[in-house]
Chain A
């Protein structure tokens, strides 16, 4: 199906409208979008992922009666999955306002950016990011002050479509971690309706010098929801991030992670688990851009694909001339549970200097029949055996998540999904 969105009409529809929230930013984004175009299957990065439904939903959301923001607000004490974290209540924070919350004695600032601030801070470099900037309802910036060591994770919960437009929501978060800090985040996506929806989310994560960040994304949207989630991670000297995306639900879920290793001795681990079934489509595109020397990046994605599921992995490491003594690894392992399951996987390297250590590989296989026989011969039934094997497989990634309080929830989430696979 061709992707159609009339760009010429958008400024009239969105920006020349007294409800426009960020009209100037919108103009900038629209100009860029016109250069880039709405991606279709001819775009290299969108070859395997058809976004005509998300775009249709976006278009539908532009019709005048859907412009008003729903008045429904999230439950103040909403605590997804009973995970112990400081869950931020985004709906509380109004345009241009800011709020300080004390977490373990540190003053974390949460701010809804005004237009001037937004224009200064936003990174807009891809079509979906342009659409996000053009349509965004809220740009939330979370600032972690210098020298903060916060044990408990900070939670960002997106319950779709509670505090957003019908059909489509566009949020942008900027997480700014000042130097010498250590902090962890959970971003959580779930649905509270079965109506078709498209969430177009951008996360900008800036790590200053000597910081350590743990980031966990849990996506458990309903089977009628589409998510395109783009993270842009900029790493300062001696900073490190351990990012994990866990994709369970949704109809279509696309995760883009752009990691910019701009400064010396920065390192990024980008991991992912996906459990995909019944016509679901899960796509992970990861770019590690090694700009500076002594940087390292690892991408490790493990997927289970059931009946009629389709997954995509594209992991790329770009290593520039000056990025000497760089290490880059990319791995993608898939288990197909059914003949109708499929995956398109492609780890890529682009290297412009000689002092690099790289490795990459991908596997596509089935559950080990010999292992299943062995387990059965010890009294374990076939279904249990399979789910134990799958759990063991995804544990390769889950065991690397350093957020203790999420463990129980993730185990339950995964075993309940396995019941269905």
Chain B
């Protein structure tokens, strides 16, 4: 589904990713761990298509196509969702207006009929209830004045509404209290299916207690230096990354 082959990226001429490779198939959950500054968020941004992360070498295949040829918005419409580590606040732009525009952009791309305001509201209300998010989220500005944890929950809300094929969640667990963590995990587990893939970027084993990964990778200095199953995460929790170059 997603095949990242030996990518190198630089931001303002500083090398960040250094020959990173990763292959992901439908139905799989991959966890990516690694020290601060190792390039985890950069990977997420490269997948989302942020302009300032220039890919200087390597390639990324998504559903058999060259991902790097797709614009940011095409990637989203084609089923890529990145839950950001630091979601942006957009004061004054109504959350539900934003989400509806987003859903309809995707529908239009797929040559489907637009979702009506009524259907949208129905779906949004159901989703919000399931994720135990306050109803008021819908009418607030996008992330406007949201607490750190609320922003993360809003990302999961967007993910659920957009129903992508692959979700890359960058530290969606940071800043969540234990109840919110369970809710987010529940949302992700419900999303999980045979046909979907998930990349979880996290620093903490505790998320992986709720969402069981098939693979755990350690990212350091811009490349994956070790891969294993969930026991790798448990080992890292005890020993840290010190052997791995931090």
List chain A positions with a Cβ less than 8 A from chain B.
368, 370-371, 373-382, 384, 388-389, 391-393, 395-396
User: Which chain A residues lie closer than 8 Å to B109 at the CB level?
Assistant: 379
Whether the pair A384, B105 counts as a contact (CB closer than 8 A) is: yes
- The answer to the question of B178 belonging to the interface, with a C-beta cut-off of 8 Å to chain A, is no
Task: Report, as a range, how many residues of chain B touch the other chain.
Answer: 20 to 34
CB distance from A273 to the nearest CB of B (A): 13
Most chain B beta carbons < 10 A, residue from A380, A391, A395 = A380
Whether the pair A380, B91 counts as a contact (CB closer than 8 A) is: no
Q: List 11 A-B contacts (CB under 8 A).
A: A373-B50, A373-B51, A373-B72, A374-B142, A376-B71, A377-B75, A378-B98, A378-B105, A379-B76, A388-B101, A395-B92
- Write the chain A residue with the least CB distance to B76: A379
Pick from B92, B94, B97, B158: contact of A378, CB below 8 A: B158
User: Which chain B residues lie closer than 8 Å to A384 at the CB level?
Assistant: 101, 105
List chain B positions with a Cβ less than 8 A from chain A.
48-51, 71-73, 75-77, 82, 84, 87-88, 90-94, 97-99, 101-103, 105-106, 109, 141-142, 158, 162
- Report the bound CA distance from A374 to B71 in whole Å: 13
When A and B form their complex, what is the total count of cross-chain residue pairs whose Cβ atoms lie within 8 Å?
74
Whether the pair A380, B105 counts as a contact (CB closer than 8 A) is: yes
Whether the pair B73, A374 counts as a contact (CB closer than 8 A) is: no
Whether the pair B162, A378 counts as a contact (CB closer than 8 A) is: yes
User: Which chain A residues lie closer than 8 Å to B142 at the CB level?
Assistant: 374
Whether the pair B90, A392 counts as a contact (CB closer than 8 A) is: yes
CB distance from A368 to the nearest CB of B (A): 7
Given contacts A370-B88, A376-B71, A377-B50, 5 further A-B contacts (CB under 8 A): A376-B73, A378-B99, A379-B103, A380-B101, A392-B91
Whether the pair A379, B141 counts as a contact (CB closer than 8 A) is: no
User: Which chain A residues lie closer than 8 Å to B158 at the CB level?
Assistant: 378
- Report the bound CA distance from A396 to B90 in whole Å: 13
User: Which chain B residues lie closer than 8 Å to A388 at the CB level?
Assistant: 93, 97-98, 101
- Report the bound CA distance from A395 to B139 in whole Å: 14
Whether the pair A374, B87 counts as a contact (CB closer than 8 A) is: yes
- Report the bound CA distance from A368 to B106 in whole Å: 23
- Report the bound CA distance from A263 to B162 in whole Å: 56
CB distance from B71 to the nearest CB of A (A): 8
CB distance from A397 to the nearest CB of B (A): 11
User: Which chain A residues lie closer than 8 Å to B51 at the CB level?
Assistant: 373
Most chain A beta carbons < 10 A, residue from B73, B141, B158 = B73
Whether the pair B90, A374 counts as a contact (CB closer than 8 A) is: yes
User: Which chain A residues lie closer than 8 Å to B98 at the CB level?
Assistant: 375, 378, 380, 388
